[in-house]
Amino acid sequence: MFKRGNLDIKKVKPSQKNAEVFLVGAVIKLLRLGLNKAVMRKETFTVGDYIHVYNRGNRKQPIVRQASDRWHFLQALYYFNNEISIANPFNGLRNKLDARFNHELIWPREWPLKKPLVKIIAFSLMENHFHLILNEIREDGIALFMQKLGTGIVKYFNAKYREAGRLFQGSYKARVVDRDEYLTYLSVYIQVKNPFELYPKGIEYAVRNFDQAFEWAVKYPYCSLADYVGRRNSPIISRDILAEMFEAPEKYKEFARDCILSMNFKERLESLVIDE
């Protein structure tokens, strides 16, 4: 696993003779990691902001190919959301947890106390993209988290499938969630509409048969819907803000139904959702 660190450019002084080799080697290394930039992306978010984050595969290619990749995405959300970077976390976890490594998220007692970089309010993983709603709880928390998440996923994917180059289309897209209405509608888009698109009988059938499709979406493990309807208590999710807006799971389901069946839901989303 990579570690955060600052490269003091003034201390790196390759001679004129080997400067070209130095630069070419650096570029090749970055390409192999699938990174677009060598430095952390600088954001203008302030502590307390809620942010919609989105990224998709390069040329819309899959970013996950099998169930183990999807589970690794959940592991990445949980274990990378920490101020301290643990060296080789997944190798260590595999040895510590044994069979539980593939289905439980456990913070080992031997590790330093977990100090999250962000609050993860909601998420959804699709075949070729993902959505997150994040809360900035410390300066540069989202930028640091997304750097760790993106780098970790690319390294995992390229190592497993012997790929090279970019996995994602570029830097993640981010947009401030500045209204309660935005947050509630966006949560339905991420947690309900996105899984509905994966429904075996198609999204049109899912909309016509909302209760049946909603139950299916609740059981889809790679989004946070189950955490908001009382079926799961994932350590990934912070439910505070949305839990305050909806008194009970049934209230959220009814709101989601109204959104999905509403004629102007799509129109509302056009002004709220990041262009995909």
Alpha helices in 119-239, H assignment, sequence order: 141-161, 180-188, 194-196, 203-208, 210-219, 225-228
DSSP state of 224: S
- Which range has the worst mean pLDDT, 8-17, 27-36, 79-88, 231-240? 8-17
Model confidence over 162-173: pLDDT tens digits?
Answer: 998 899 999 999
Is the pLDDT confidence value at 125 over 80? yes
- Do 219 and 151 lie in a common domain? no
- Do 172 and 58 lie in a common domain? yes
Is the pLDDT confidence value at 247 over 50? yes
Q: Which domain holds residue 68?
A: 50-177
Summary mean pLDDT of the chain:
84
- DSSP labels, 108-147: -TTSPPP--SEEEEEEEE-SSEEEEEEEE-STTHHHHHHH
Is the pLDDT confidence value at 193 over 90? yes
Q: Model-level pTM?
A: 0.82
CATH number for the domain harbouring residue 81:
3.30.70.1290
Answer yes or no: is 221 within a domain.
yes
Answer yes or no: is 23 within a domain.
no
What is the pLDDT confidence band of residue 8, given thresholds at 50, 70 and 90? Answer: very low
From CA 70, how far away is CA 53, in angstroms rounded? 18
- Do 169 and 65 lie in a common domain? yes
- Domain endpoint, select from 127, 152, 177: 177
Answer yes or no: is 268 within a domain.
yes
Q: What's the rounded mean pLDDT across residues 13-21? A: 36
- Do 143 and 230 lie in a common domain? no
Answer yes or no: is 26 within a domain.
no
CA atoms in the 13 A half-sphere facing the CB of 148:
29
- Domain endpoint, select from 177, 198, 217: 177
Total domain count, the chain: 2
From CA 132, how far away is CA 257, in angstroms rounded? 21
Is the pLDDT confidence value at 223 over 50? yes
- Do 193 and 168 lie in a common domain? no
- Do 196 and 108 lie in a common domain? no
- Do 173 and 192 lie in a common domain? no
What is the pLDDT confidence band of residue 276, given thresholds at 50, 70 and 90? Answer: low
Answer yes or no: is 223 within a domain.
yes
Q: What's the rounded mean pLDDT across residues 47-76? A: 96
Tally Cβ neighbours within 10 Å of residue 263.
Answer: 6
Is the pLDDT confidence value at 3 over 90? no
C-alpha dihedral (158, 163, 164, 169), degrees to nearest 10: -80
Model confidence over 128-172: pLDDT tens digits?
Answer: 999 999 999 999 999 999 999 999 999 999 999 999 889 999 999
Model confidence over 177-190: pLDDT tens digits?
Answer: 999 989 999 999 99
- Do 169 and 196 lie in a common domain? no
Give every CB contact of residue 237 below 8 A, 6+ residues apart in sequence: 120, 121, 122, 123, 224, 227
